[in-house]
Amino acid sequence: MRRFVTLAFLLLFTIPFGISISGCGKKTAVVYCQGGSGPVVGQATTIALQPKIFGISLNFAQIGQVSAPTATDCKGNPVTINSFTYGVFDANGNADMTIADVVPTTGRLCAGTWNRNTGGGIPDFTTCNPTNKAGTVYVVATGNGAPSNPLPIFVHPVATSVVLGNPTAPANCATDPDKSSNCCPLTTLASGAIPPPYSGNSCLSQGQTGQLVARVYKNATHLPADNITCQVGHLTYAAQNTSVVTIDENGIATAQAPGSSIISANLSAAGSSAGFFSTCPPVSIALTVPGAGNGPSVVVNQNNTQPITAVVKDMNNTILTNLSLEFVSTTPETIPAVAAGSVTPLFPGTAQITAICQPPTCNSSSFNQIGLFGNGKPVISNPITVTTPGTNSTLLYIASTQSRYLVPVDFTTNTLGAPIQLPYVPTSMVISSDGTTIYMGSANELMTFSATTNTLSKEDTTVIGNVLAISPDGTTLVVTDPTRQIVYLYSASGGVLSTYGGVGTRAQFSPDSQIVYITTGTVTTPATGTTPAVITPGNQLLVHSVFTGWSTTTLGAPAADVAVTIPSVGAYLAGAATTARSYCPSTTSSADGLTVQSNEFYPLADTATVTTDRLSATNDGHHVLGATVASSPTLVDLGFAVSLPQGACPPLVPPAYFTPLRTSTTTVPLSGITATAINNIIPTTDSTAAIVTYTGSGKLPVYAPATGAITNVTLTGSATAPVAGVISSDNSTIYVGTSGDNAVHLINRTTLTDDATKTILPKLRQNINGIDQNTIVTPNLLVQHPRKSSS
C-alpha cells in the first residue's frame, strides 16, 4: 500500500514539476525499420565505397586512397559515422595483405604491404613495400557495426602504354578471372543489347554506339607476354573533342559530329593517349531549293530570302544533322549566303552558292590523323546558281600607281567627286566586299580609306608593299613586301596576323575565306623611286589554311598567277603549262589502313599543255580562262562540262584528278591587240563574258565562253589600250582605265559599245619623289561597289 501511495505522489508532483521546467517535453519514440524490433531508423545499415564495380587500379608499389565512405540507414537517409575501420580480403573473405594493404584508420592503399613496427622512429604505414604480386583483393570499411561493399583493388605491373583495340586474351567471359570490362564488356544498352566493341579500326556513323576496349602493356615492346589487360581492372576514357564523340563511365562511345578525336585512357590515377575515335565523315552534300527541285539555278528577287536545303550523308548512307556547314557565295557583295542556309540578295547580280564541310569546324581531326577514314578533309556540295534580276548603280574609285590622288565617282548622281590626296602613291588597291573600306599598299605604309566618309581612316607604317588580295569576308589582307621579302596576313581591323618569308606576286582566297593561294617570285631589280621592283615568277606556291596553317609546294615550273576553281576545290596556276592543285590532301596510309604515314598538301591535279600569263575562273564552274603574250596574244579556255569534283576527297589524289572533267582546251587568238603584257582577265558574275586588259595597244577583247567568240570593242577618242578594268555588279557596264587618253571608258555590256559621252577624265597628276607634277597619268587601279539606283 505504501508503494502505491508513493507512486501516486510522484505522479502528482514529479511530473508536473518536470513540465513546469521543460514545457511539453516528450521522449522521441523509437522507429524500427520493420515491425517492432531489429534495426531502427537513423542507425547505419549500409556503407558504400565507390566506385563499387570498377574499383581502384594500382601499379606495383603505388599508393592510393579509398574514397570517403557514405553511410545510410534502412530508409536511405544519410547517417554520420565519425570513424571507419578498413581491411583487405581475398575473394573468399579471408584477410590478405600480400597483394595490397590498407591503413586501417584512413583507407590509404598500398599496392604491396605497408611498413609496420619498423623501428628507428619510423612511423607505421609510411613506406609501401612492393611484393610484385598481381591480383585482385577487396577493401571493406566498417563503422558503427555496419560493413561496406567490397571494393575491388586491382594490382598489376606498371602499365607503360594503353592501345585502343580488342584485348588479346581471354576472349571468353567465363575465363576472365577479374570480370573487368576490358576483357569482358558487361555494359548493356537501354534495349538490353551489348554494344559492339570499338577498337579504332573503322568509323561509326553519327548516333551509333560502341564499347571502347583497349590493350594494356607493361613494356613498350607490346609482346603477348607484356599484355596485362585483364589485371588492371576498369579503364575510363575521355575524348579530347567531345563534339566528335561522347563517352560514359562504362566506356560506351556515342558518335556525334563527323571528325576524329584523340581518346585518352585513365588507369592507376594516370592518363595516356590510347588511340583515336572516328565519326564517319560526309561523303555527299546535296543542295536543293525548296519548290525548285534539284535544279542547279534559281531566280531570287532583291531583298527576298530564299532558303536552301542541305542533305548530308556519310558512307553508311546515314543522314547527318547539326553540322557546322559553311554556305558560301562567289559574289558576297551582291548575294551573300548565311550559315543557316539561305540567301537574301542585296543587289542584282549572279552568284554560285555552295556548302562546305570544312575542317576544323566540320569533320575535324588532329594534324597527324588527317585523312584517316576520311576525317580532316573538306567535303563540298553541288552548286546552286542564284540570279537576281534588275540593275543597280555603281560607286567607282579610280587611282594610279603613279599618282597620289584617288577619285570617287557616284553613278547614282553621275557625280565625279573631287580628287582626294593620299599620303603616298599607291602600289595596289582592293575593296572590301561590303564596299565600306579600301586598302592601298605603298612603299611607305598601308593606307586604309573609308568609302563611307571618303577619308583616310588608318595608316600603318609597319606594313609596306603591295596588297595582293582581300578575303571575301573582308577580315584578312594579303600584303607582300618585296624589299623585306615578307608576305603578311593582315587583319582588316589592324595588325599583322601571320607572316611568311618570300615575295608574293598574285593571291586569291577561296570563297569561304579559309584558304589563300599565293604565287611567289624573285626580285631581279629592286624598286627605285617611283619605279616598282621587277619580280620574276618563281616555282614556290605558298598556301595558308585556317586549318593547317602555312605550307609551301614546289612546282614543276614557275607560276605567274593563280585562280581558285568554282566550286573551290583547288586552284589553277598560270605558267608555261597551266596546272591545277587540289585542296584535298593526298594521304598515304599503312598497309592495314589504320595509320596515316604522310599527307601531301595541295597535290597536282591537272596539267594542260598551254601557256598562260594570267588566269581567272567563271562563276558557273565551267571555265578557267587564261591569256598570254607568249609568241602572240592568245586567250585560253579550259572547259568543264560539269563542275569540278564534288563530295568527299579521295584518299590518294591522282595527278590527273581534275583532268577527266576538263572536256576542252581552246585557244583563241587575240587578233585585235598588240600587247607586251596581260594585266588581267575579268569575267562577268553571270559567266557570259570576260574582258582582257593588257599593256600595249588595240581594242578591248570581250570573250563569250558559251560560243568561244571574241568581240573587239573599239575604244573612242585617243585611248590606246585598256590597262585595267572592273565590271558592275549587275553586269551591265564595263569600266576600263585606258592609256593614251588616261581616262576611264564605260562599255555597254549589251551592245558592247563605248559611249564617248560617258568617258571619265579623272586627271590623276603624276607624283615623282613626293612632288605632284602637271603630267596626267593612266588610271590603272579601279575598284567598284554596287549602290541602289536613284528612284
Determine the pLDDT at residue 198.
Answer: 80
Q: Quick one: how far is CA 699 from the chain centroid?
A: 46
Range in 288-292, 517-521, 670-674, 715-719 the model is least confident about: 288-292
Determine the pLDDT at residue 4.
Answer: 31
* pTM (whole model) above 0.95: no
Range in 178-182, 354-358, 385-389 the model is least confident about: 178-182
**Residue owning grid cell 591480383:** 135
Distances (CA, A) of 589 to 372, 379, 425, 484, 490: 8, 20, 53, 40, 36
Instruction: Please write the tens of the pLDDT for every residue from 386-417.
Output: 999 999 999 999 999 999 999 999 998 888 99
Determine the pLDDT at residue 294.
Answer: 56
Burial class (CB in 10 A: 0-12, 13-18, 19+), 344: middle
Instruction: Please write the tens of the pLDDT for every residue from 555-596.
Output: 999 999 999 999 999 999 999 999 999 999 999 998 888 889
Determine the pLDDT at residue 23.
Answer: 41
Range in 152-156, 236-240, 411-415, 667-671 the model is least confident about: 411-415
Residue 339 pLDDT > 80:
no
Instruction: Please write the tens of the pLDDT for every residue from 672-693.
Output: 899 999 999 999 999 999 999 9
Determine the pLDDT at residue 774.
Answer: 95
Determine the pLDDT at residue 295.
Answer: 63
Determine the pLDDT at residue 530.
Answer: 67
Q: What's the pLDDT band for 183 if we cut at 50, 70, 90?
A: low
Q: Quick one: how far is CA 680 from the chain centroid?
A: 32
Residue 349 pLDDT > 50:
yes
Q: Which amino acid is at 227?
A: N
Burial class (CB in 10 A: 0-12, 13-18, 19+), 541: buried
Return d(Cα 700, Cα 692) in angstroms, integer: 7
Determine the pLDDT at residue 30.
Answer: 80
Determine the pLDDT at residue 508.
Answer: 98
Determine the pLDDT at residue 134.
Answer: 92
Q: What is the mean pLDDT of residues 172-199?
A: 51
Mean pLDDT, all residues of the chain: 89
Sheet holding 78-79, edge to edge: 46-48, 70-72, 78-79
Instruction: Please write the tens of the pLDDT for every residue from 5-50.
Output: 333 333 333 333 333 333 444 556 788 888 777 788 889 999 999 9
Cβ neighbours of residue 725 closer than 8 Å, sequence gap 6 or more: 680, 682, 691, 693, 700, 734, 735, 736, 737, 782
Name the more confident of 198 and 673: 673
Q: What's the pLDDT band for 118 if we cut at 50, 70, 90?
A: confident
Determine the pLDDT at residue 54.
Answer: 86
Contact 314, 357 (CB under 8 A): no
Q: What is the mean pLDDT of residues 494-521?
A: 96
Determine the pLDDT at residue 176.
Answer: 43
Label residue 45 left, alpha or beta by phi (over 0 means left) and psi (-120 to 50 means alpha): alpha
